[in-house]
Amino acid sequence: MALMDKHKQVKRQRLDRICEGIRPPILNGPMHPRPLVALLDGRDCTVEMPILKDVATVAFCDAQSTQEIHEKVLNEAVGALLYHTITLSRDDLDKFKGLRVIVRIGSGFDNVDIKAAADLGIAVCNVPASSVEETADTSLCLILNLYRRVTWMHQALREGTRASSVEQIREVAGGAARIRGETLGIIGLGRVGQAVALRAKAFGFGVIFYDPYLPDGVERSLGLQRMATLQDLLIHSDCVSLHCSLNEHNHHLINDFTIKQMRQGAFLVNTSRGGLVDEKALAQALKEGRIRGAALDVHETEPFSFSTGPLKDAPNLICTPHTSWYSEQASVEAREEAAREVRRAITGRIPDSLKNCVNKEYLMAASQWPSMEAATVHPELNGASAAYRFPAGLISVAAGGLPGAGAGVEALVAGSLAHGIAPASHPPHAPSPGQPTKAEADRDIPSDQ
């Protein structure tokens, strides 16, 4: 018996030496073989569970900031899923002790500091393709609404306005315009931008675009006209539609200066990111008639309210609550793909096994990024020597209590197959590369919604 105990102790010491520098020290026994994956800003994990239940324990936090996330998640979570309602800055990321992968359920990832994440050894992924059609359809719907003024005519009837005579119809429908022959200017010709362009052409729009990151010849393959500068696009567009990501270089891309470069009485549509538009400048332009009408699905401050902010008194404005991405099908597809990306991280190699890693170049450039395959570091990491494990399935980790306490446990799904992913010890902050890398260029591309 003593010989067996000594053998186990030697084996444990050997394992600790192998894993030194790969994971943080465990003060209360060996690492849990079932990694913890947390949905940070939601509570419905019914789509993710079937995909992850055999390789991870899934918890939901339903938090709006990291201050609302339980310490257990901050200390032990290896993977994080999130929508757009929570922001992860460098300080927020520092709070997570074992995080290895973040997957944004959607395309935009401006709510995560991807450079800081790379410095900490955290891969950041997104789901870029799930809502392309929905966002493009919504964009065109808003464009058509501005031209045909459906919203305002509906509102007039609701308010009791009668439109029986030609004069009354002219008054109610005043401002409605013919679409054929109008020029639609698209800023950012990525997936959504291209889908909008193809739809707009079917309605008779002439389509031009500005996207300095696309290679030459794209305009020929799509039958579009390319503008060399943003100013050229603004000058020649009757309606401008934004389909670019938000980054430090294009914040308030539409501002008082660029609005003055637009055609008098042009329309503006934004289904991309609220920070692209200076709402104070837009409100003033709407009041002065420099912009004939605007439709916004995204706003500088969300959730949006008409009762506050600079747009509260702006005329000829349509606002929707950041829902252009949504359909039941798109929502399920995005959640399924996000869960599959987390699964690839757990069972494979980070970042090589990831399908949509948006900070891969930063990760590879980080001086202390440990390129390792967790499942093959040592057999014991797959659960042979675990002191205990989380129950397989879904748990709620609220700020007020530990998982498994009272109503905190939402459901437990039986399962015994355990896979390990060794959470790396976050390396010290490494300075971002001095020269722009491919990842930096990719993040600045204004072509993905």
Residue type, 321: P
Q: Distance (Å, rounded) from C-alpha 261 to C-alpha 296?
A: 20
Q: State the number of CA atoms in the 13 A half-sphere of 343 facing the CB.
A: 14
Cβ distance 313 to 283 under 8 Å?
yes
Q: Which residues pair with 267 in a beta bridge?
A: 239, 293
A 10 A CB-CB count for 113 gives 21
Given 263, 273, 292, 378, which residue is catalytic? Answer: 273
Q: Which of 7, 14, 302, 429 does the annotation list as catalytic?
A: 302
440 catalytic per annotation: no
What does the CA dihedral 403, 404, 410, 413 come to, rounded to 10 degrees? 100
Identify the CA nearest to 89 among candidates 44, 124, 37. Answer: 124
**Which strands make up the sheet holding 291-296, listed edge to edge?**
225-226, 206-210, 183-187, 239-242, 266-270, 291-296, 317-319
CA–CA dist 255, 56 (Å, integer): 46
Strands (E) in 289-350, as ranges, are 291-296, 317-319
Residue 79 has which token pair?
Answer: 């993977």
Q: How far is CA 357 from CA 99, 114, 435, in A?
A: 15, 10, 20
Contact 121, 100 (CB under 8 A): yes
**Please, what sign has the CA dihedral across residues 170, 173, 175, 181?**
negative
In the 3-class helix/strand/coil scheme, how is 191-223 assigned residue by residue?
Answer: HHHHHHHHHHHHCCCEEEEECCCCCCCHHHHHC
Residue 210's contacts (CB-CB under 8 Å, 6 or more residues apart) are 185, 186, 187, 188, 226, 227, 229, 230, 232, 233
Task: Choose, from 70, 84, 290, 322, the residue flagged as catalytic.
Answer: 322
> Which phi and psi angles does 104 have, rounded to 5°?
-85, 120
The answer to whether 322 is a known catalytic residue is: yes
Active site residues: 273, 302, 322
